[in-house]
Each structure stands twice: as C-alpha cells, then as structure tokens.
Amino acid sequence: MSSLRQQVIESAGFIRARFGDCSPAIGFLTGTGLSDTLSDLEETDRMDYADIPHFPKATVASHTGSLVRGKVGDKELLVFKGRFHLYEGYGPDMVAFPVRILQELGISVLILSNAAGGINLTFSPGEIMMISDHINLTCKNPLAGPEEPEWGLRFPDMTQVYDPKLRELALTSARELGIPLHQGVYAGLQGPSLETPAETRFLKVIGADAVGFSTVMEAITGVQAGMRILGLSMITNINDPDAPAPTTLEAVVDTANRSSKKMNRLLSRVIQRMD
Ligand code: HPA
C-alpha cells in the first residue's frame, strides 16, 4: 500500500472516531467565497482541518478550513469548507486528499462548488452554471503516479464525469425555484494569475464556458472512486477579451457572497431530492 493511501486511511479513521458512525451518502467541497453557501445545513459536528492527521493546511483567507457534518432535511452530509489548490503549491494528491477521505468513508455522491470567470458572454456575474463537462488544462493529473488498485481503475472513462441524473435533478429544481441555471464546460487552469485576453479567446475557441483554478483534480478523483458528481460554478465575473476588465479576489468573493442565498436554495432542494 502506498504511504498516501495509508495516510488517507488514518485521516478517515480519525474522522470516524470523532464523528462516531459516519457514513453519510453525500460529500460536498466548497469553493472560494462559498464556504458558508449551504446555510440550510444543520450542523451536528465540526472539526478544524488542522486537527485531522495528514490533512493539508488551508491558506486562502476566504476558505475557513473546517470539516462539518450536518443535515439538510433528512439527508446527512460531510462538508469540507475550504479547498486546496494547485496554485497554493499543493500537488494533485493533496488537492484530491478530501475526495480520497470521502471515498474511504464510503461516500457515493460528490458535490463540488467553485467561483469561476464567465467565458460565455450570455452569462452575468452572480449567475450559476452547472458543469456539464470540463477541460483539464492544469497539465496535472491526480491519478498519475504509482498505481493504487484499491482506489479504482487505472484508466477511468471520462465520458460522463458529471452525473446526468443529478444534472437533470438540478435543472428541475432550478426551474421550480425560478433560479436561472446555465450549463456549460468548465476549464480548469492552475492559476493563480488570471487570464490574458488572448488566453480567454483561446478558452472560448476550445469550448469553455467558464474558467477557474479548482474542481478538475477533485472531479477526476471522484470519477475513479465511482462517485456521482454534481458541479456548480458561481459566475463571479465575465471575461470578455474584446472589453477586458480587471478582476480582483475581493470582487470575486463579494459576488460569491451576494449570490450565495440562491446557491443555498438550489443546493438545498437538490440534496433533499437525491435518491
Ligand atoms: N479566472 C479564474 N478563476 C476565477 C475567475 C477567473 O476569471 N473568477 C473566479 N475564479
């Protein structure tokens, strides 16, 4: 067994010991400025990332860095509030570490939220895009390296990363709630420098609707783990190569915060209706 898998087993064992019998079906990783989006979550347990053995430390100010167990309606969830990014210097293994823990805990549904820049000019800041597919432009892959057969297939199929049934459920829920929900392709870059107008033009040409610095490592890992994945991007700014406007982290976090109620309502309904 690799030392990484040994670490995951120890981390999951620690969480199991602290949270008691811990086998919810749903895991949720929150994105930049979105840690507290799921305000309907009734928290039952919490631990700091710093307490979890082998767990990477969260560095971005907008990520609170705690693992929360809670309920939305009768559905139990484990929520990792705060992510790890390649741009912080973590390797793909560490970025995917929370997903490996969820796998070890037997979780079968993975929800990923993120803040993203809109490439599709029909989008507006504050709107939500459900990820229909992604393009991994990080030049990294969390499955590269020595094979760990216990974790799944060496060459997992990637034709349906984002679960069609969950996507359908999200579309129906959004319609019922009167929340506009776009669908589109998420381009995952390493960052942290934002895109030049020429890069934005390139992303558009290759079929991206939104761009961000997260999600793809976790999604690839989730696929190998056999998880059903739902990805939601909060569009915090629009990148128009013909009218480039500067983007700041503050503006991204501010837009994410302002639109988080909408994200909560959507997520809350989707979670409660999951089978
Ligand atoms: N680019 C990359 N990541 C982002 C952006 C962006 O424009 N907005 C929010 N996250």
Query: HSE (CB half, 13 Å, CA atoms) of 183?
Result: 14
- 118 vs 120: CA distance, rounded Å: 6
**Cβ(116) – ligand 1 distance below 6 Å:** yes
Residue closest by Cα to atom 3 of ligand 1: 212
**Cβ(264) – ligand 1 distance below 6 Å:** no
* pTM, to two decimals: 0.96
pLDDT, position 2: 75
The residue assigned the tokens 């319609």 is 175
Q: Which residues have CB under 8 Å from 80's CB, separation 6+?
A: 27, 28, 29, 30, 67, 98
Task: Give the fold, CATH level 3, of 3-272.
Answer: Rossmann fold (3.40.50)
- 251 vs 210: CA distance, rounded Å: 17
- 86 vs 74: CA distance, rounded Å: 35
**Sign of dihedral through CA atoms 108, 113, 119, 120?**
positive
Q: Which DSSP category does 50 fall into? A: G
DSSP 159-210: TT-B-HHHHHHHHHHHHHHT--EEEEEEEE---SS---HHHHHHHHHTT-SE
The residue assigned the tokens 């503006």 is 251
pLDDT, greater one: 24 or 154:
154
**Cβ(247) – ligand 1 distance below 6 Å:** yes
- State in Å: Cα 200 to ligand 1 middle: 11
Name which of 166, 171, 168, 160 is nearest 128 in CA terms: 171
| pLDDT for 63 beyond 70 | no
| pLDDT for 62 beyond 50 | no
**Cβ(212) – ligand 1 distance below 6 Å:** yes
Given ligand 1 and candidates 60, 247, 248, 259, which is best to mutate, with the most ligand atoms within 8 Å of its CB? Answer: 247
Overall average pLDDT of the 72-83 stretch: 93
Overall average pLDDT of the 79-94 stretch: 93
Q: Are strands 228-238 and 109-118 parallel, antiparallel or unpaired?
A: parallel
| pLDDT for 65 beyond 60 | yes
- State in Å: Cα 24 to ligand 1 middle: 31
For the stretch 220-273, pLDDT in tens is 999 999 999 999 999 999 999 999 888 888 888 888 888 889 999 999 999 999
**Cβ(253) – ligand 1 distance below 6 Å:** no
CA angle 208–265–169, rounded 5-degree value: 60
Q: How many other β-carbons are positioned within 10 Å of the β-carbon of residue 254?
A: 14
| pLDDT for 51 beyond 50 | yes
**Cβ(195) – ligand 1 distance below 6 Å:** yes
pLDDT confidence band for 60 (50 / 70 / 90) = low
For the stretch 178-221, pLDDT in tens is 999 999 999 999 999 999 999 999 999 999 999 999 999 999 99
pLDDT confidence band for 21 (50 / 70 / 90) = confident
Given ligand 1 and candidates 120, 128, 195, which is best to mutate, with the most ligand atoms within 8 Å of its CB? Answer: 195
Overall average pLDDT of the 166-186 stretch: 98
